[in-house]
C-alpha cells in the first residue's frame, strides 16, 4: 500500500487543485460560436493541406508493344486546395465533429520515361483530385493547468476521383500513368491528409493555452479562471465550468462560502454566454475586505468646494453642539471602514451590495493630533449597474439607503438621526465616486488570445449575471 502513495501523489500533482469544486463562472459555447471556430479552423486546415508532399515515384512497367518502360514522376507540388464545403457538429459527451466534403486539390509535376533502350521522353503534367472527403472527431478536455485542450479522436479521408493531364508525350503514356494515379497517388494522399488535419487541430492548443487562468486584477487581487471539470457537451452547446474566484495575490485563502448551483439558460443567439455568479462577486468583496483596502480617510479637501457641508466642527456643531463648544474652529477627519465582508446579491435586473461599516469622526488638533469624537455604525445598500467594457466587467453604484446608529460617543449623547444628511452627502460626494472610479476600471473576464467581444449584452438574473456576446479574434 505504501508503495503506491508516491504514485498517487504525483497523479494529484498533475490535477489542477480546483478540480471537483463547483464553478463560480460558467461559459457556454453555442453552435453559432462553434461555426465561427469552424471558419477559422478551415483556413488553418487549408494551409496544412497545401503542405502535402508527394515523394518522387519511379518504376518499370511492361507496356505492350513497346516492352519495358522505365518511368518517373518528380517535382510534384500542390498548387491549390479548395475546401468549399464543411460543417461542424457537437458530439454530446465528446466534443465535436468536422466534416469536409467535395474538397479538391490540384497538383503539377514532371514526368520522364525511358524505353527501347534509347528512347527518352519527358514533359509536365497537371493532376486534379476531386471529391475529397475528410471526417474528423475532436475531443475537448481540460489540460493539467485547467485550460481547455483539443485532440483528434478519429479521422477518415477518402479521395473521390483523380484526373491527370499530360503535356507532351505519346498518348499511350496516359494509360501507363493512369493506373498509378488511381492507386498509388490516392493512397499517398489519403495517408497524409489525416495527420495534417490532426496537426491543424493540435495547433489550436497553443491558442487555448492563452486562457487567463490567473488574471491579475490590481495590486491586491487576481482571479482564477481554471476549469473545475471537463467540459460538458450537449447537442446544442459546449459548457465549461471555471473557478471564477478572486484571491489575494500570492495568498490563496478560501472564503467561508462556496458557489451555489446555477445553470445558464438555453439561449443560442450569441456565440458565447458567460455566467458570473454572486460567488465570484462575493469572493472579490472577501479579498478586498481581507486586504484591508475597504477603508477610506475623508478630509475636508475631498469635499467639493461648492458643497455647503464642510468637514469641520462648525458644520457638525450645528447638529451636535458639544462638538462646536469643546473643539471650536477645527477641521475634522472621518475614517470609514468595513467591519465585515460586503454582500453582493443578484436578483433579476437588480444587483445590490450591502455593507456594514463604522465611521469614526475625529477633530484635527492644531498640532495634528486626532481626537476621536464618535463612532457610528453605518449600514449601506447600493445598487450596481454592471456592464462590459472591452474584456472587462465594470460597474457603477448609486446609494439606495443608509442607516446610522451610534457606536461610541466621546462627546456625550446626541441624536444620530440629525447627522443623516451630512453622511448621505459624504457618501454621495466622496465615498461612492471613489468606489466608482475603481469599479469603472473593471475586472478581467476569461479571455483567449486577442479576443474581442461584439454585440455584447449583460443581464442580471437570479444569483448570476449573464453576458451574451459574439466574439472576434484579431489574429
Ligand X SMILES: *[C@@H]1O[C@H](CO)[C@@H](O)[C@H](O)[C@H]1NC(C)=O
Nearest approach, Cβ of residue 139 and ligand X (Å):
24
Q: Rounded to whole angstroms, how far apart are CA atoms 422 and 322?
A: 17
Helical H runs in 318-461? 321-326, 420-426, 432-441
If the CB atoms of residues 63 and 370 are measured against ligand X, the closer one turns out to be 370
Q: Is 459 in the site for ligand X (CB under 6 A)?
A: no
C-alpha cell at 181: 494515379
Nearest approach, Cβ of residue 354 and ligand X (Å):
8
Collapsed DSSP state (helix, strand, coil) of residue 429: helix
If the CB atoms of residues 198 and 461 are measured against ligand X, the closer one turns out to be 461
Q: Is 350 in the site for ligand X (CB under 6 A)?
A: yes
- The pair phi, psi for residue 428, each rounded to 5°, is -70, -35
| Interface mask toward ligand X for 329-348; x: CB under 6 A | ----------------x-x-
Q: Rounded to whole angstroms, how far apart are CA atoms 27 and 277?
A: 11
Q: Is 20 in the site for ligand X (CB under 6 A)?
A: no
Residue of the chain from 39, 75, 258, 365 that contacts ligand X (CB under 6 A)? 365
If the CB atoms of residues 350 and 457 are measured against ligand X, the closer one turns out to be 350
Query: 208: closest CA among 252, 245, 238?
Result: 238
Residue of the chain from 367, 413, 474, 475 that contacts ligand X (CB under 6 A)? 367
Collapsed DSSP state (helix, strand, coil) of residue 176: helix
C-alpha cell at 435: 468606489
Q: Is 232 in the site for ligand X (CB under 6 A)?
A: no
Of 36-44, 214-222, 276-284, 365-373, the segment contacting ligand X by CB under 6 A is 365-373
How many residues sit close enough to ligand X to count as binding (CB under 6 A)? Answer: 9
Q: Is 267 in the site for ligand X (CB under 6 A)?
A: no
If the CB atoms of residues 147 and 243 are measured against ligand X, the closer one turns out to be 243
Helical H runs in 15-100? 31-49
- Cβ atoms of residues 439 and 325 within 8 Å: no
Collapsed DSSP state (helix, strand, coil) of residue 61: strand
| Interface mask toward ligand X for 279-318; x: CB under 6 A | ----------------------------------------
Q: Is 234 in the site for ligand X (CB under 6 A)?
A: no
If the CB atoms of residues 340 and 441 are measured against ligand X, the closer one turns out to be 340
Q: Is 253 in the site for ligand X (CB under 6 A)?
A: no
Nearest approach, Cβ of residue 138 and ligand X (Å):
28
Within its chain, how far is the Cα of 326 from the centroid? 59
Nearest approach, Cβ of residue 378 and ligand X (Å):
17
Residues in Cβ contact with 427 at an 8 Å cutoff, skipping those fewer than 6 apart: 380, 399, 402
Residue of the chain from 94, 108, 133, 352 that contacts ligand X (CB under 6 A)? 352
- Cβ atoms of residues 242 and 283 within 8 Å: no
Q: Which of residues 404-433 bind ligand X (CB under 6 A)?
A: none
Q: Is 163 in the site for ligand X (CB under 6 A)?
A: no
CA dihedral 188, 47, 73, 162 (to 10 degrees): 60
Q: Is 263 in the site for ligand X (CB under 6 A)?
A: no
Q: Is 151 in the site for ligand X (CB under 6 A)?
A: no
Q: Rounded to whole angstroms, how far apart are CA atoms 227 and 213?
A: 8
If the CB atoms of residues 350 and 415 are measured against ligand X, the closer one turns out to be 350
If the CB atoms of residues 167 and 462 are measured against ligand X, the closer one turns out to be 462
Strand partners, 377: 358, 405
* Residue with cell string 477633530: 363
If the CB atoms of residues 398 and 472 are measured against ligand X, the closer one turns out to be 398
If the CB atoms of residues 165 and 401 are measured against ligand X, the closer one turns out to be 401
Q: Is 260 in the site for ligand X (CB under 6 A)?
A: yes
Residues in Cβ contact with 195 at an 8 Å cutoff, skipping those fewer than 6 apart: none
Nearest approach, Cβ of residue 458 and ligand X (Å):
17
If the CB atoms of residues 299 and 350 are measured against ligand X, the closer one turns out to be 350
Nearest approach, Cβ of residue 23 and ligand X (Å):
11
Residue of the chain from 250, 369, 474, 475 that contacts ligand X (CB under 6 A)? 369
Strand partners, 49: none
C-alpha cell at 262: 446555477
Buried b (16+ CB within 10 A) or exposed e, 145-182: ebbbbbebeebebebeebebebeebeeebeebbeebbe
Q: Is 53 in the site for ligand X (CB under 6 A)?
A: no
Query: 398: closest CA among 415, 416, 386?
Result: 386
If the CB atoms of residues 309 and 351 are measured against ligand X, the closer one turns out to be 351
Nearest approach, Cβ of residue 381 and ligand X (Å):
6
C-alpha cell at 306: 461648492
Distances (CA, A) of 10 to 6, 7, 147: 6, 5, 19
Nearest approach, Cβ of residue 285 and ligand X (Å):
15
Distances (CA, A) of 344 to 142, 376, 435, 464: 30, 22, 15, 10
Nearest approach, Cβ of residue 350 and ligand X (Å):
4
Nearest approach, Cβ of residue 365 and ligand X (Å):
4
* Residues forming the site for ligand X (CB under 6 A): 260-261, 345, 347, 350, 352, 365, 367, 369
Amino acid at each position: 500500500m505504501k508503495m503506491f502513495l508516491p504514485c498517487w501523489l504525483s497523479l494529484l500533482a498533475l490535477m489542477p487543485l480546483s478540480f471537483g469544486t463547483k464553478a463560480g463562472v460558467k461559459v457556454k459555447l453555442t453552435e453559432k460560436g462553434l461555426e465561427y471556430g469552424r471558419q477559422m479552423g478551415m483556413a488553418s486546415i487549408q494551409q496544412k493541406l497545401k503542405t502535402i508532399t508527394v515523394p518522387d515515384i519511379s518504376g518499370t512497367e511492361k507496356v505492350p508493344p513497346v516492352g519495358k518502360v522505365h518511368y518517373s514522376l518528380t517535382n510534384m507540388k500542390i498548387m491549390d486546395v479548395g475546401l468549399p464545403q464543411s460543417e461542424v457538429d457537437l458530439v454530446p459527451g465528446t466534443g465535436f465533429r468536422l466534416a469536409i466534403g467535395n474538397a479538391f486539390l490540384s497538383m503539377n509535376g514532371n514526368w520522364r520515361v525511358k524505353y527501347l533502350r534509347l528512347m527518352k521522353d519527358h514533359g509536365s503534367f497537371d493532376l486534379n483530385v476531386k471529391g475529397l472527403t475528410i471526417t474528423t472527431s475532436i475531443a475537448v478536455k481540460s489540460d493539467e493547468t485547467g485550460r481547455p485542450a483539443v485532440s483528434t479522436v478519429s479521422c477518415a479521408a477518402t479521395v473521390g476521383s483523380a484526373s491527370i493531364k499530360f503535356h507532351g508525350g505519346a498518348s499511350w503514356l496516359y494509360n501507363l500513368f493512369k493506373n498509378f494515379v488511381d492507386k498509388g497517388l490516392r493512397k499517398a494522399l489519403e495517408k497524409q491528409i489525416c495527420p495534417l488535419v490532426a496537426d491543424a487541430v493540435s495547433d489550436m492548443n497553443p491558442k487555448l493555452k492563452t486562457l487567463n487562468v490567473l488574471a491579475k486584477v490590481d495590486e491586491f487581487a487576481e482571479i482564477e479562471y481554471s476549469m473545475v471539470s471537463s467540459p460538458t457537451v450537449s447537442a446544442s452547446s459546449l459548457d465549461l465550468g471555471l473557478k471564477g474566484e478572486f484571491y489575494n495575490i500570492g495568498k490563496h485563502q478560501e472564503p467561508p462560502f462556496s458557489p451555489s448551483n446555477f445553470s445558464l439558460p438555453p439561449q443560442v443567439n450569441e456565440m458565447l454566454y458567460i455566467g458570473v455568479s454572486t460567488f465570484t462577486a462575493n469572493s472579490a468583496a472577501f479579498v478586498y475586505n481581507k486586504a484591508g483596502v475597504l477603508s477610506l480617510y475623508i478630509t475636508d479637501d475631498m469635499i467639493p468646494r461648492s458643497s455647503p457641508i464642510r468637514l469641520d466642527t462648525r458644520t457638525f456643531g450645528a447638529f451636535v453642539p458639544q462638538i462646536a463648544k469643546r473643539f471650536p474652529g477645527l477641521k475634522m477627519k472621518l475614517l470609514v471602514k468595513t467591519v465585515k465582508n460586503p454582500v453582493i446579491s443578484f436578483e433579476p435586473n437588480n444587483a445590490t451590495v450591502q455593507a456594514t461599516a463604522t465611521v469614526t469622526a475625529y477633530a484635527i488638533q492644531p498640532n495634528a493630533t486626532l481626537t476621536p469624537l464618535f463612532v457610528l455604525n453605518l449600514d449601506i445598500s447600493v445598487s450596481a449597474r454592471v456592464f462590459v467594457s472591452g474584456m472587462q466587467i465594470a460597474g457603477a453604484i448609486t446609494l439606495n439607503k443608509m442607516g446610522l446608529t451610534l457606536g461610541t460617543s466621546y462627546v456625550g449623547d446626541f441624536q444620530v438621526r440629525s447627522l443623516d444628511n451630512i453622511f448621505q452627502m459624504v457618501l454621495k460626494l466622496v465615498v461612492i465616486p471613489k468606489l466608482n472610479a475603481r469599479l469603472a476600471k473593471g475586472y478581467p473576464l476569461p479571455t483567449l488570445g486577442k479576443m474581442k467581444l461584439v454585440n455584447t449584452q449583460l443581464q442580471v438574473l437570479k444569483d448570476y449575471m449573464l453576458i451574451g456576446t459574439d466574439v472576434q479574434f484579431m489574429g
